[in-house]
Amino acid sequence: MIKKSLFACIVLIVIFIFYPSPIEPASWKAPVDQGLTGEFSPNNKLQSSIVIPLPFGEGPEDLALDREGRIYGGLQDGRIVRTTSSDDYTIEEFVILEGGRPLGLHFDSKGHLIVADAFLGLLSISPTKEITVLSTSAGGLPYKFVDDLDIDSKGMIYFSDASYKYDQHEYKLDLLEMKPNGRLIAYNPKTSTAHVLKDNLYFANGIALSQNEDFVLVNETWQYRITRVWLKGEKAGQSDVFIDNLPGFNDGISSNRQGTFWLALASARKENVDAMQENIFLKKIISKLPNFMQPKPIYQGIVIGLNEEGQVTHNYQDYDGAKVYMVTSVQQEGNKLLLGSLEAPQMVIYELNETK
């Protein structure tokens, strides 16, 4: 009996090893992780935040404020919820996007909520809750994973298609494959056309325009860097590295349009994740494991402020993860930071002060 069980286990292991992997990974050597040290040193400043629990649903990955001061967030189940007023944090349903997963949110000059929906594409929702699909493809490729956006003063929408190959449910496969499947796209609402500004990005995530709108930043999450794409001037059309070797998985980014970018690190880096990136065979094996056996994030809250030269100016954390964790977006409204999370069942408000 024992021999038969052992033989069966061996057969299953052999089948598992040689069963085709869903990915064709590339080998990548991660830069040496300096960790949460120096200007990224641990602290628990975010533990003074106001937490707004959600009575239903979870994962308001991005938050946005309308003209009346209500806070909006998109949930994993496709709902977009909001607070009932600027001073009442009771949560109510705004709309539900059937088959969708609203991620990036931003209001345009007309008061329409522009939504980067992982599955449905780029959407517009009017104050009367009319939903319009703006764009579902660019450059001859349909969007697979629309993620985040920003809007310039003329109404041009810049947004990310995190991966043209893997959707939101498969994002860990994109991490394991480590190929530049992401794109930065510009949508012109006047002509209803979209074009690719930059491709070959390693998981194109958060998007933010500079104060003068002369460049746009895009987070390349898998390679711990932010890429700058120039929109105006002599460098228009060119791109360079804004900051790299970040100590965590850079997710959302926003600009306060006063010279500060707010960056959300969803998780600190993990030594085992960096190490496995060089081993193609190992990554193929891991890709076949059930989700609960694959790498997990570190549940901490990390928010970093950067100036327009890519230098760290602010460092707010809940290093213990006691109150704020897995922050995936940061939006500044006055003296407050609105913090979203891909997984947490809450919205978070952090009041700024003069300390770094």
Query: Quick one: CA dihedral 118, 129, 335, 341, positive or negative?
Result: negative
Q: pLDDT tens for residues 83-99?
A: 999 999 999 999 999 99
What is the average per-residue pLDDT within 207-217? 99
Q: Which residue matches tokens 């993620």?
A: 147
pLDDT tier at 353, thresholds 50, 70, 90: confident
Question: CA 157, CA 111: separation in Å to the nearest integer?
Answer: 14
pLDDT at 5: 52
User: Whole-structure pTM over 0.75, yes or no?
Assistant: yes
Q: Tell me which fold the domain 2-351 belongs to.
A: Neuraminidase (2.120.10)
pLDDT at 14: 54
Q: Which residue matches tokens 């070959």?
A: 200
Across the chain, mean pLDDT equals 95
Question: CA 156, CA 117: separation in Å to the nearest integer?
Answer: 17
Question: CA 273, CA 283: separation in Å to the nearest integer?
Answer: 10
pLDDT at 15: 47
> Encoding tokens for residue 36?
């949460």
Cβ atoms of residues 186 and 195 within 8 Å: yes
> Encoding tokens for residue 145?
């994973």
**Which residue from 214, 230, 239, 242 is spatially nearest to 304, judged by alpha carbons?**
242
Cβ atoms of residues 113 and 122 within 8 Å: no
pLDDT at 122: 99
Question: CA 227, CA 142: separation in Å to the nearest integer?
Answer: 23
Q: With 70 as the cut, is the pLDDT of residue 1 above it?
A: no
pLDDT at 213: 98
What is the average per-residue pLDDT within 163-176? 97
Q: pLDDT tens for residues 250-265?
A: 999 999 999 999 999 9
pLDDT tier at 12, thresholds 50, 70, 90: very low
pLDDT at 10: 58
**Which residue from 181, 174, 179 is spatially nearest to 294, judged by alpha carbons?**
174
Question: CA 183, CA 143: separation in Å to the nearest integer?
Answer: 9
Q: Which residue matches tokens 């085992």?
A: 272
Q: What end-to-end distance do the CA atoms of the chain give, in Å? A: 66
Q: Report DSSP letters for 262-311, one per residue.
A: EEEEEEE--HHHHHHTT-HHHHHHHHTS-GGGS------EEEEEE-TTS-
**Which residue from 203, 200, 199, 191 is spatially nearest to 157, judged by alpha carbons?**
191
Domain positions in the chain: 2-351
Q: With 80 as the cut, is the pLDDT of residue 33 above it?
A: yes
Distances (CA, A) of 57 to 72, 74, 312: 13, 10, 34
3-state secondary structure of 111: coil
pLDDT tier at 293, thresholds 50, 70, 90: confident
Rg (CA), the chain: 21
Cβ atoms of residues 148 and 158 within 8 Å: no
